[in-house]
Structure 1
């Protein structure tokens, strides 16, 4: 029987690490094949530390960012990582690039997908990628798109936590305990050498979300212990037989 699969659509090469690295490692440990698509390297807008080095070039920045992301992917046990190299600030998703993402979605046939918040005034690349991910999901479901291919079912799409959620209209409705795989996420975070200033920030986020996990799993009346967690906002209703 084929493994279950998951697909992460990341605007820049580090986003998947900060925002859902724990979910990736946890599901990989459960037997999922997790595919990550990095639409850009974040070479213009998220590589300031590299650009401050004398003689830096665009190709060297891209190469370094790719190396970091590949190392992080290995730390998280990612099944496959695909770099689209579409540029950033702004990230331009052409129709050709959308068709390419649809091809990946149909190939992976994910049990669930993850991407960015719907709104992000600090980084518009993020919110456009959220919109494009949903658009490509719909295209992948269309029988008339490349007829004869296996169409996509209805995987849930989870929006991972943006950097400043109170400004993004992002409201988590799922908390995931990542305590058992925190060491893998922390190792992946440290692979992102160009953005060292974010390492402890995202440790703090994971600790705070663990507090929310404990509170929402029963609190002082028997909530499950969790040291590290991630929060997500689901897009589509869940279908259940009991609550």
Structure 2
């Protein structure tokens, strides 16, 4: 039995993990976790407009540029294991073969917690379909009758990271994480995503706003812990505790 601490982030496109969970990833890497990032697609068709505006651009060149950006961002966050499944985007085609591949990754990693998108996103159905897919893969990875002989998954929490247009998504955060100690790493990762430069300042502001929520929910004016940058998450499953804090 191993005490190795692991986590798995399932990202629809190659940049999603950076904007929405880069702080959590960098922080847990520093805490001794091995965080695996699985990018289902490069976001080559729907999230690479800046690249497509260049003359002579091709789908393969866009994919390569996105891979390089995501790898550089992962390096900035301290991630040593990033997987590119190259399933295509807009739309993501999440068939049984893709499911089997991700279940294998989950069982290999044996994550202490998992993370993916919000459950609802009418602006980008790739995102919400990824979360449904991730939940199904988690369920299959727990099934003793799936590929008998493999180590089955326990019951990791599934956290849903913040969507882009939060107020439209029915996303309700119940967990705020102080990422101030690793903000410079997340900032460096954000700046690796050259194809979506328009989001750099947006997600900096999100992190500042969530830090305000962290301060208020850690005691507010009565002694809340100072935080300058934070990320918010919605958990899917109940927590089990021995004492209420």
TM-score range, shorter chain: over 0.9
Could you say which residue in structure 2 is the equivalent of 1:238?
A: 239
CA distance in 2, matches of 1:112, 1:145: 21
**Residue number in structure 2 paired with 1:54:** 55
Q: Kindly state the Cα deviation for residue 79 of structure 1 after the two structures are TM-superposed.
A: 2.5
Q: Distance in 1 between matches of 2:185 and 2:221?
A: 29
Q: Which runs of 5+ in 2 are unaligned?
A: none
SS of the equivalent of 2:55 reads: coil
Per-residue displacement from partner, 1:153-201 (whole Å, max 9, x unpaired)? 0000000000011100000000000000000000000000000000000
Aligned to 2:143: 142
How many equivalent pairs are there? Answer: 243
| Distance (whole Å) between structure 2 residues aligned to residue 197 and residue 66 of structure 1 | 19
Output one character per residue of 1:112-169: Cα deviation in whole Å (capped at 9) or x when no partner. 0000000000000000000000000000000000001100000000000000111000
Using the size of structure 2 for normalisation, the TM-score is: 0.99
Residue matched to 2:37: 36
What SS is found at the alignment partner of 1:35? strand
Q: Name the structure 2 match of 1:20.
A: 21
Which consecutive segments of 4 or more residues in structure 1 shift more than 4 A?
Answer: none
CA–CA distance in structure 2, aligned partners of residues 161 and 187 of structure 1: 19
Separation of aligned partners in 2, 1:231 and 1:196:
22
Shift of residue 14, structure 1, vs aligned partner: 0.1
Q: Which runs of 5+ in 1 are unaligned?
A: none
CA distance in 2, matches of 1:161, 1:134: 17
RMSD: 0.6
Q: Secondary structure at the match of 1:144?
A: coil
